[in-house]
Amino acid sequence: MSALEKQLINRISKAGPISVADYMTECLLHPEHGYYATRDPFGTEGDFTTAPEISQMFGEMLGLAIAQAWLDQGAPSPFTLAELGPGRGTLMADILRATKGVPGFHAAAQVHLVEASPVLRARQIERLVPTHVTHHDSIGTLPDAPLFLVANEFFDALPIRQYQRDGDGWRECQVGLEGDKLAMGLTAPLPVPALDHRLDDTQDGDVVEICAPAQGVMAKLADFIDAHGGTAFIIDYGDWRSVGDTFQALKDHAPVPVLDTPGEADLTAHVDFEALARAATPLSAHQMTPQGVFLERLGITARAQALAGKLSGEALDSHIAAHRRLTHPDEMGTLFKVLGLTRADAPDLPGLQRNQSQARPDGT
């Protein structure tokens, strides 16, 4: 039994069941025993591998897309180049390398990283030398300036609350106890005004997930971009509208039960992109696009072919596999989606198509 599990059992035994959001927060961010507070979870020695760790091509494509959006919006200077949840700093390093030939881009860019983990902050500083990096605990302290932002696998780790449909109301899923072990349970039926609009497309027993922190981040992001200009590229796994239980845990690159070894496994849930777009009003949301389609539109295959010409043997095989993993529909190409956000009067974003219907608050 982990140290955090003992603390959670003691807390629940005294005060009663806790929400899934509270459980996720404790497991991921507890200052002593939280998953992100105590380790570097990335790569083959960690618990999962993200797209920037798979291939430099991912960051290169994103970097050039950001630079083109910056040029299309008049090349403002200075501007904030920001990343939410930057991991080891690999993505930002690839973005900076890919854009070093864009005239004026590096001179105007001020790099800001939103990162809660002290372990990962140290990795990011090491990775990005000699670039000056400013760290933030939250998006709210970013400077008042044009904001060009990327968030790759950031929103999936934010705490969710789960609700199960029960007639015209809902029961909230909670973490409680069965004997002396953690167990999932349900509250009594209760109204949830935030889910009134989901009574039309769900039925008894359906699970819907709400991520209030994600909506708060998006609202603040919208304030920055609406006031100062800029854009955001959001890449994560999920779909346009949440339905079903997607709460999951990963340890040593394999799924594990969500209540096992709290604090020692990564906890995530699929992202509800419709909710993100709603929260970003009045920004214009470009059409949610599969990652593979997005990367192909940006020219990843041509880049892969150019790199392949310098490789052979196992290195070439690994390179080909990385391209497939990032783009193929049976791998990350379809599971992961891209959402782009700009002001309504801004030019279209590279790799994405503007879809006014998805930008509306009612999603129609």
In a domain, 173, yes or no: no
Residue-level pLDDT at 358: 44
pLDDT of residue 279: 95
Dist. CA 343–CA 202, nearest whole Å? 32
Place of tokens 């239980």: 245
Spatial CB neighbours of 359, under 8 Å, sequence gap ≥ 6: 277, 281, 283, 284, 285, 344
CA–CA gap between residue 63 and residue 260 (Å, rounded) = 38
74 assigned to some structural domain: yes
The one-letter code for the residue type at 234 is: I
Domain span at 130: 37-159+211-359
In a domain, 343, yes or no: yes
On whether the CB atoms of residues 211 and 272 are closer than 8 A, the answer is yes
Instruction: Show the DSSP H helices in 73-104 as ranges.
Output: 90-98
Is 193 part of any domain?
Answer: no
Determine the residue type at 116: A
The three-class DSSP label of residue 176 is: strand
Query: pLDDT tens per residue, the chain (364 residues)?
Result: 888 999 999 999 999 999 999 999 999 988 888 887 766 655 455 455 789 999 999 999 999 999 999 999 999 999 999 999 999 999 999 999 999 999 999 999 999 999 988 888 999 999 999 999 999 999 999 999 999 999 999 999 999 999 999 999 999 999 999 999 999 999 999 999 999 999 999 999 999 999 999 999 999 999 999 999 999 999 999 999 989 999 999 888 789 999 998 998 999 999 999 999 999 999 999 999 999 999 999 999 999 999 999 999 999 999 999 999 999 999 999 999 999 999 999 999 999 998 655 433 333 3
* Per-residue confidence (pLDDT) for residue 354, from 0 to 100: 86
The angle at the Cα of 56, spanning 52 to 62, to the nearest 5 degrees, equals: 70
Residue 184 lies in a domain: no
Which helix (H) or strand (E) covers residue 70, if one does?
helix 56-72
The per-residue pLDDT for 116 is 84
pLDDT of the residue at 253: 76
- For the chain, the first-to-last Cα distance in angstroms comes to 48
- If one counts every other C-beta atom within 10 angstroms of the C-beta of residue 241, the result is 14
Q: Which of 86, 79, 89 is nearest to 143 (CA)?
A: 79
User: Taking a C-beta distance cutoff of 8 angstroms, is the pair 194, 252 a contact?
Assistant: no
How far apart CA 222 and CA 290 sit, in angstroms, is 23
Please give the pLDDT value at position 96. Answer: 98
Enter the tokens of residue 181.
């072990």
Alpha-carbon distance of 314 to 304, in angstroms, equals 15
CATH number at residue 262: 3.40.50.12710
Query: Tokens 């509270």 label which residue?
Result: 22
pLDDT for the residue 41:
58
Whether the Cβ atoms of residue 47 and residue 265 lie closer than 8 Å to each other: yes
Is residue 168 assigned to a domain?
Answer: no
Give the C-alpha separation, 66 to 80, whole Å: 12
Contact assessment for residue 270 and residue 262, using Cβ atoms and an 8 Å cutoff = no
Domain count, the chain: 1
What is the rounded distance in angstroms from the CA atom of residue 112 to the CA atom of residue 24? 26
Position 287 in a domain = yes
Nearest to 145 by CA among 100, 105, 112: 112
Q: Is the Cβ–Cβ distance between 72 and 79 less than 8 Å?
A: no
**Which structure tokens are listed for 232?**
């955001």
Which pLDDT belongs to residue 301? 96
Helices 291-298 and 56-72: angle between axes, nearest 10 degrees: 70
Domain-embedded: residue 101: yes
- Asked whether 346 and 266 are in contact (CB, 8 A), the reply is no
